[in-house]
Amino acid sequence: MPATVPSSAQPGPAQPHTQPNSQQQIRRHNLTRVLNAVAVHEGTASRASVATHIGLTRAAVSTLVDELLRAELLVELGPGRPGGVGRPGSALALTARGPCGIGAEIGVDRLTVCAVDLSGRVRVRAEQCSDNRGSDPRAVLRRLSELLWEAAEQAEEAGLRAAGVAIAVPGLVDRGSGTVVRAPNLGWPAVAPATELTVPLPVTLDNEANYGALAELWLGHSQVPSDFVHVSAEIGIGGAVVLDGRLLRGVRGFAGELGHVPVRPSGRECPCGGRGCLEQYAGEGALLRGAGLPYPSDDDPIALLAERAAEGHRTTRRALREAGTALGIALSGAVNLLDPGAVSLGGALARLGSWLLPPLEAELAARCTAPEGPPQVLLSSAGDDGPVLGAAHSVVRVVRADPLAYAPATLSSLPARR
């Protein structure tokens, strides 16, 4: 049986906040610290440097390192001089084999999966165009199962064993029950993907913008600080709020719904039931319609918009200006309310950043009350892959938070595919 992702484990800083009590807890805690110190200082880590970084004795660290080597979570790269001084130590690294995290994204017009290893390197990636608007969730999840099997098998061929699957969806998620409770852009009824997937791995689920924000935080694509508002601008507009390095969940788990902040309160009707929501002015559909282009579109509509804007196409430029303005209005409210350290713009629309940013920043400058002016707006370089990367990394983070739970004894091969 594959290892189980503890249901209480939530993506977040790898080091637990509470102090461990028993001897056994202290050992597990220290194993986690050693593993994460090697991860952070990969390439230069040795027993001695890890001991310095985490403040344990060299002897204690050696014992812990040996345990992680036996568990096949660390590898020795052979004698080197990682610290640059003293007796040559043996350079340590996270294994390129062993546990991996599988991420998936159910987008409105594609399915994406990837597998990342313990260091966070992407080892497998696959993508399938799929018009999921108004689709039958079971049919989509069947296709996703195929992709997940293929990714897990490819990972296994590379010596990796999937520790779990995390799925990003464009909608409201009840994480407790693993249910997509509302996904207007898919037109799905409430559905629990894990019950439909055939891949024998534990499944966790979250909103795509939440995973996108975690990718920014963990992977440093846009150098976000620990407090920021993330916008995931695609067909829908998702949002996430990160405070002190952790996702703000809200009391019912639905925080971050920036796409339904009113920007033109008497404006266009929105499928959410409101009027004038940001999504109606800055989502992909609004942009394409505003630019006089067909929607939905078979081509890469973002590339088309960028091309037309570059050529000076007036209605395209106006549509981009209006979308940037709408984003700026919604973000001004969010910034005045939260006083974040930055705003990050991810998702497909990040590729249109050079057109969206000037009107967006003009709104922020005019509307933000803080005397120092508005915070910086950062463009994510993860682009469309932010959510799937955040999802895959969230599985790896859980492994790194309690590595022994994922040692070889608890990870098994995939059974024969049905």
Where on the chain is the footprint of a second copy (CB under 8 A)? 19, 172, 181-182, 225, 227, 239, 241, 243, 248-258, 260-265, 272-275, 277, 329-330, 332-334, 336-341, 366-372, 375
- Least separation in angstroms between residue 339's CB and a second copy is 2
Cβ contacts of residue 306 below 8 Å, gap of 6+?
Answer: 351, 352, 355
Burial category of 151 from C-beta neighbours within 10 Å (exposed 0-12, middle 13-18, buried 19 and up):
buried
- Least separation in angstroms between residue 247's CB and a second copy is 12
- Least separation in angstroms between residue 364's CB and a second copy is 10
Q: Which is nearer to a second copy, 129 or 337 (CB)?
A: 337
- Least separation in angstroms between residue 331's CB and a second copy is 10
**Angle value at C-alpha 149, between 218 and 199, nearest 5 degrees:** 90
**Calpha distance 253→240 (Å, rounded):** 11
Q: Which is nearer to a second copy, 83 or 267 (CB)?
A: 267
Cβ contacts of residue 308 below 8 Å, gap of 6+?
Answer: 291, 293, 316
- Least separation in angstroms between residue 340's CB and a second copy is 6
For residue 310 the two structure tokens come to 């570059």
Q: Which is nearer to a second copy, 12 or 225 (CB)?
A: 225
Q: Which is nearer to a second copy, 53 or 367 (CB)?
A: 367
Q: Which is nearer to a second copy, 51 or 342 (CB)?
A: 342
Q: Which is nearer to a second copy, 279 or 402 (CB)?
A: 279
Q: Which is nearer to a second copy, 40 or 337 (CB)?
A: 337
**Calpha distance 199→212 (Å, rounded):** 24
- Least separation in angstroms between residue 323's CB and a second copy is 14
CA of 142: how far to CAs of 84, 137, 145, in Å? Answer: 53, 8, 5
**Calpha distance 208→323 (Å, rounded):** 21
Q: Which is nearer to a second copy, 158 or 248 (CB)?
A: 248
For helices 58-70 and 47-54, give the axis angle rounded to 10 degrees.
120
- Least separation in angstroms between residue 223's CB and a second copy is 15
For residue 262 the two structure tokens come to 């009113």
Question: Cβ distance 35 to 403 under 8 Å?
Answer: yes
Burial category of 83 from C-beta neighbours within 10 Å (exposed 0-12, middle 13-18, buried 19 and up):
middle
- Least separation in angstroms between residue 278's CB and a second copy is 9
Burial category of 55 from C-beta neighbours within 10 Å (exposed 0-12, middle 13-18, buried 19 and up):
exposed
* CA R_g for the chain: 23
